[in-house]
Amino acid sequence: MMINRKENRFIAHCSLLIAHCLLLANIVFAEELPALDLQQLIDEAVKNNPELISAKYRVNAFKEVPSQMGTLADPKIEIGLLKVPMNTLSANEPMKEITVMQSLPYPGKLSLKSDMAQREAEAAEEEYKDMEIKLIQMVKDAYYDLYFIYKAVEITERNKLALQDFVKIAEAKYSVGMGLQQDVLKAQVELSKTIDELIRFERERQSAEARLNILMNRLPQSLLGKPGDIKKNEFRFTIEELQSTSVENRPLLKGLEKMIERYKAAYNLAKLEYYPDFDVGLSLGQEKNNMNSVSGKFSLNIPLWYKTKQDKKVVEESYNINSAKERYNAAKNDIFLKIKEIMAEEEKGRRLIELFLSGIIPQATQSLSSALAGYQVNKVDFLTLLDNQITLFNYQVQYERVLSDYERKLAELEAVVGKRLF
């Protein structure tokens, strides 16, 4: 009678295990934290990120330069004494003279200097835009990382509850002499590993939240909500379309184009340096307390050493133009290569997601259900059942990792081409 009671208790535990494990497959844990909105996080980061704000101030500073470079130099006033007698006993008084001088660069030089400064300001503006795009990518990267962690914790918590029941069943079976001690130990080890995983995920969650907070200029320990569920974005772009989009929209490339224009203006300015600049002045002379003379002044510089100065400057700026063009080509090649690499990752991720949804997870779920049914009638051993349980939950975690990595790659692609795509 004692054995029958133990067997009945064991059968009851098995029935509970089957019901509990089937229920765990569909559990959705209650959301205690407010849902995070990705766009709100992006908006806050763009508004408050100190590095981006610093870059904006730098752009504003550059915008103040063109007007300065296009303005004439300040005029000069000269005050002098003429005809100062060497003999202090002389009755002649020295003549006083006031001269106003203005430097006048050769026509076209000021406009080219202003144009150079304008192109530098525009390049700084594009650099700012590129920083903003990269910041948005970093926010998305941290957000999808946080999404995965929360999903992994949710799945691992379900796994922990199931493993706790497995330990109870293994102990019950061992207590009636129908099981092995190694089954109990194996279940306990797997339960301990699951608890260790939850500790690791908690550490990773804190790290991801800190990164996201810092991007928004918050304290790293500031409380955040929980990312909502994400759906796989559909990818419908060809590599040629993405390459064309990057050339048209990527601020990095547009900034390098502005620098090419800047060096072209510098080249044209260097050619104008062969021509002289001028100084003109007007003088008023005072003698015996009467303003009784007016004179004019004119001077210019002579580019006498043009072979070692102006010639070299023209060659220097031509080299700068070629260098800027090659930097542009190198940056474009890097972008095209990155697009190709991301597209390969996208195809791999898309196939894995489809495989997990249509094959791996349904098959693992079916295998666990079959193992549970077989275990109930002693046709499947405990270790096989345990292995099926762990396999299913591992696949569920892997699916969420693949999905979050896929969305991260799409966010990286947007940053590479410089345009919102999804």
Extended beta strands in 48-136, E state: 76-82, 95-104
Percent of the chain clearing pLDDT 70 (strictly above): 88
For range 267-289, the mean pLDDT = 89
Q: In 10 A of CB 181, how many CB atoms?
A: 10
Q: In 10 A of CB 284, how many CB atoms?
A: 14
Sign of CA dihedral 169, 171, 173, 175: negative
Residue 37: pLDDT band with limits 50, 70, 90: very high
Which residue has tokens 């700084």? 124
Residue 378's pLDDT is: 74
Strand order, beta sheet including 278-287: 76-82, 95-104, 278-287, 290-300
Is 417 a residue whose pLDDT tops 80? yes
User: What's the rounded Cα separation, in Å, for the pair 342 and 337?
Assistant: 9
Is 40 a residue whose pLDDT tops 90? yes
DSSP state of 276: P
Average pLDDT taken over every residue of the chain: 87
Is 26 a residue whose pLDDT tops 60? no
Instruction: Using alpha carbons, select from 288, 310, 285 the residue that is nearest to residue 296.
Output: 285
Residue 176's pLDDT is: 67
pLDDT digits (tens, 9 = 90+) for 183-208: 777 878 888 888 998 999 999 999 99
Is 3 a residue whose pLDDT tops 60? no
Is it true that domain 2-71+105-273+309-417 has CATH number 3.20.20.70? Answer: no
Is 27 a residue whose pLDDT tops 50? no
Helix (H/G/I), strand (E/B), else coil: 100: strand
For strands 95-104 and 76-82, give the pairing. Answer: antiparallel
Where in the chain are the domains? 2-71+105-273+309-417, 75-104+276-304
Any idea of the CA torsion for 170, 174, 175, 176, to the nearest 10 degrees? 110
Instruction: Give Cα 201 distance to the centre of its chain.
Output: 24
Residue 1's pLDDT is: 40
Is 155 a residue whose pLDDT tops 80? yes
Tell me the DSSP string of 351-370.
HHHHHIIIIIHHHHHHHHHH
Contacts of 156 (CB under 8 A, 6+ apart): 194, 197, 198, 201, 393, 397
Helix (H) / strand (E) containing 287: strand 278-287
For strands 35-36 and 278-287, give the pairing. Answer: unpaired
pTM of structure: 0.84
Contact 392, 318 (CB under 8 A): no
pLDDT digits (tens, 9 = 90+) for 321-375: 999 999 999 999 999 999 999 999 999 999 999 999 999 999 999 998 888 888 7
Which residue has tokens 């026509």? 107
Q: For the chain, state the CA radius of gyration.
A: 39
Q: In 10 A of CB 191, how many CB atoms?
A: 17
Contact 165, 21 (CB under 8 A): yes
